[in-house]
Amino acid sequence: MARWRMAMLAGVCVLAVFTLAQPAAQDAGGRGAPQEGARGGGGGRRGGGPPPQGTLTPMAPDARGWGWQVKASVNSSTPRPFYNKAKELLFQDEQVTSYTISSFNPELYCEVGAHFDYVWFEMQHSTMSYDEVRRMIQTCPRVGAAPMIRMPDALESSIQRATDLGVLGIIVPTVDDALEARDAARFSRFPPVGRRSSGGGAAGQIWNAPGMNYRATINDNMLVVVMIETLEGVANADEIASTFGVDVVIIGNNDLSQFSGWSQNDPRYQDALIKVHDATLKAGKYFGNAGAQYLNGYAVSPGTRFVQNGPARDGWRPAGRGGRGAPPAEEEPVIGLPGGEQPTGRPPAGGARGGAGGN
C-alpha cells in the first residue's frame, strides 16, 4: 500500500510539472488557423502566421447563447430597444466597441458619440472629474453611444456619483473576488434588486425624455462590467461571473500580463483568457477584452462581445487613422504581442473596423 501511494504521488508530481512546463514550451504559431469573430477589425498578429491560442479549447455556447442569464433577469415590461445602445446590441448578439475619453472635451464626446456603441470615460487613470463627465453628457444628451465610466473603485460613494450624473454603465477595474463584483452590481441599481440610493443629479433630466421613464427602466438599461486583471481574479472567475447583477466580464489585458508576468503571446496567458471566457459563458454573462486586438484571430475572438476602443460601427475614423474627425482615442500600447509589434489601429485589407487598446 505504501509503495502504491508513493507511486501515485510521483505520478501526480510528474503530471503537474508537465502541465506547467508544456504551455511555456509550446510553439504558439503552430496551433492552426485563427478563428474569426463576428465583426471584422483589429486583428491579432500581423504577418508571420496565426496568433497564439493557448493550450485549451474554449467552450462553445449552447442553444442559450451568450448572456442568457442577463437576458433572463430583464423585466418583461421594460421597453425595447433599450436606450442603452451597447446593451441593446449585446442582446442582439453583436460585438460592441467604444471610444475612450480621458479629459474634458464636449465637442469630442458629441462627435464620437454619434458613431460608437458606447463611450468609455476614463476615470481610473485620469484627473477628469465627475462634474466634467456630467457636463459632456448634458452637452448632447442621448447622442447615441451609451455613456459609461471606468471607475476608480467599487465604493458606494463613487458609484452613486457616477449613476446620478447619468451614465448607463460602469466598468470596475481589478476585481479579484465576488465581493467586489457584488458591490459593483448592487450599488449600480435601485431596490429591490440593488442598493442604489434615490437622489438628485442629472440622470433623470437626461433620460426622462418623452416616452422614457428613467426610474422604472434604468435597472434594466444599466450595464455593469467588471474587469479581471490578476491571477487571483482568474482563479475566482466562476464566482465573479456568477455574481447577480454583473452583466459583462472583461480582461484587462495589459494589467493581467503585468500581474501574471506572462506576455500576451504566452500560451499560459492565453489559457487564462480561455478560463475566464468559459466561466463567463457558463454564468450566462457576456465576455470581452480591454484589448481590441482580440476582436478577431484569437481562440477567444468568437466570444469577445465587449471591447475597449476598436473600430466604429459605421466605419467612421477619427483624424490620425486615415479619416477626418476627432483626435484618436487615448490608448495604451499592447504588451507582449509577438515580435514586440504594436497595433496600428488600421483594419486589415478588406476589413471595415480596426483598433487597439487594452488596459
Contact yes or no for 12/6 (Cβ under 8 A) = no
pLDDT of residue 343: 37
pLDDT of residue 320: 59
Contact yes or no for 285/74 (Cβ under 8 A) = no
pLDDT of residue 97: 98
**Residue 42 burial by CB count (10 A; 0-12/13-18/19+): exposed, middle or buried?**
buried
Whether 8 is in a domain gets the answer no
Instruction: Report the distance separating Cα 260 and Cα 228, nearest Å.
Output: 12
Per-residue pLDDT of the chain (359 residues; tens, 9 = 90+): 444 444 444 443 433 333 333 433 333 333 332 233 344 444 344 445 678 899 999 999 999 999 999 999 999 999 999 999 999 999 999 999 999 999 999 999 999 999 999 999 999 999 999 999 999 999 999 999 999 999 999 999 999 999 999 999 999 999 999 999 999 999 999 999 999 999 878 998 899 877 789 999 999 999 999 999 999 999 999 999 999 999 999 999 999 999 999 999 999 999 999 999 999 999 999 999 999 999 999 999 999 999 999 999 999 987 754 444 444 554 444 544 443 443 333 333 333 333 345 67
**What does the CA dihedral 67, 302, 83, 69 come to, rounded to 10 degrees?**
0
Q: What is the CATH number of the domain that holds 130?
A: 3.20.20.60
Whether 114 is in a domain gets the answer yes
Q: Is the dihedral of CA 335, 338, 342, 346 positive or negative?
A: negative
On the question of a cis peptide bond just before residue 338, with omega within 30 degrees of 0, the verdict is no
Number of structural domains in the chain:
1
**What does the CA dihedral 201, 286, 262, 292 come to, rounded to 10 degrees?**
-70
Whether 295 is in a domain gets the answer yes
Q: pTM of whole model > 0.85?
A: no
Whether 4 is in a domain gets the answer no
pLDDT of residue 336: 46
Whether 252 is in a domain gets the answer yes
Whether 116 is in a domain gets the answer yes
Domain region containing 328: 42-339
Q: What is the grid cell recorded at 215?
A: 426610474
Whether 16 is in a domain gets the answer no
Whether 20 is in a domain gets the answer no
